[in-house]
């Protein structure tokens, strides 16, 4: 159920992407290395048909495309869309990424992107941890020294937010407790 809900929300956001107001393109701080161009002579494309004959007698919906890179032997398969040409395009970009990763190792586009994503996630986690640690401390301080007013403005905001959250959770807990009471009675 939760995973479905999550899927629903993600599909909503995908279907209606937020439009940027700025017309200038976003330039990353460090430009990525250029995409690898693979020549047509090096690859062999094959269109995989499921089982059985095609033509008018059978109506096939499968249009998987497989690309083999002859020099390295890397095989990429794509059946993301219903269109053969679109699948071939996607498979080509996947193949380029794979081969670039093989050639350049840590300096490849994929590796750099993955490293950037990892870094971003780590810093986000760090921020979250710090926030909740501070919230916890703030609540304790607030509980012990209620009279003290010598707090910075930003700090004060945080404390207030934390307090409201706590009260919400308290009422939630209360609700649960109440609902438990008739259960016990029965």
Interacting residue with other proteins among 9, 11, 72, 169 (CB under 8 A): 11
What is the contact mask toward other proteins in residues 133 to 152, using x (rule: CB under 8 A)? --------------------
Q: How far is 29 from 26, CA to CA, in rounded Å?
A: 9
Cβ at position 77, least distance to other proteins in Å? 11
Cβ at position 131, least distance to other proteins in Å? 34
Six-digit token string for 112: 């750099």
Cβ at position 166, least distance to other proteins in Å? 36
For residues 102 and 76, is the Cβ–Cβ distance under 8 A?
no
Taking CB under 8 A as the rule, does residue 23 contact other proteins?
no
- Name which of 60 and 160 has its Cβ closer to other proteins: 60
What is the contact mask toward other proteins in residues 38 to 77, using x (rule: CB under 8 A)? ------xxxx-xxxxxxxxxxxxxxx--------------
Cβ at position 19, least distance to other proteins in Å? 17
- Name which of 9 and 128 has its Cβ closer to other proteins: 9
Cβ at position 144, least distance to other proteins in Å? 50
| Residues making up the chain, counted from first to last | 186
Q: How far is 92 from 36, CA to CA, in rounded Å?
A: 10
Place of tokens 């995409």: 35
Cβ at position 83, least distance to other proteins in Å? 3
For residues 39 and 96, is the Cβ–Cβ distance under 8 A?
no
- Name which of 44 and 169 has its Cβ closer to other proteins: 44
CA dihedral 76, 81, 87, 91 (to 10 degrees): -30
Closest CA to 143 of 120, 119, 159, 121: 159
Per-position b or e across 94-114, b if 16+ CB within 10 A of its CB: bbbbbbbbeeeeeebbeebee
Binding site for other proteins (CB under 8 A): 11, 15-16, 44-47, 49-63, 79, 81-86
């Amino acid at each position: 159920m939760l995973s479905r809900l999550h899927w629903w929300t993600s599909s909503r956001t995908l279907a209606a992407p937020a439009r940027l107001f700025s017309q200038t393109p976003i330039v990353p701080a460090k430009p990525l290395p250029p995409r690898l161009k693979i020549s047509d002579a090096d690859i062999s494309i094959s269109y995989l048909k499921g089982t059985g004959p095609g033509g008018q007698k059978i109506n096939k919906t499968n249009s998987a495309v497989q690309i083999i890179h002859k020099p390295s032997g890397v095989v990429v398969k794509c059946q993301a869309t219903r269109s053969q040409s679109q699948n071939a395009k996607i498979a080509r970009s996947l193949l380029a990424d794979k081969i670039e990763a093989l050639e350049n190792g840590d300096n490849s586009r994929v590796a750099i992107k993955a490293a950037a994503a990892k870094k971003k996630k780590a810093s986000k986690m760090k921020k979250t941890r710090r926030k909740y640690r501070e919230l916890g401390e703030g609540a304790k301080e607030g509980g012990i020294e209620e009279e003290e007013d010598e707090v910075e403005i930003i700090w004060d905001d945080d404390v207030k937010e934390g307090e409201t959250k706590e009260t919400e959770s308290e009422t939630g807990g209360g609700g649960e407790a109440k609902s438990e009471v008739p259960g016990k009675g029965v």
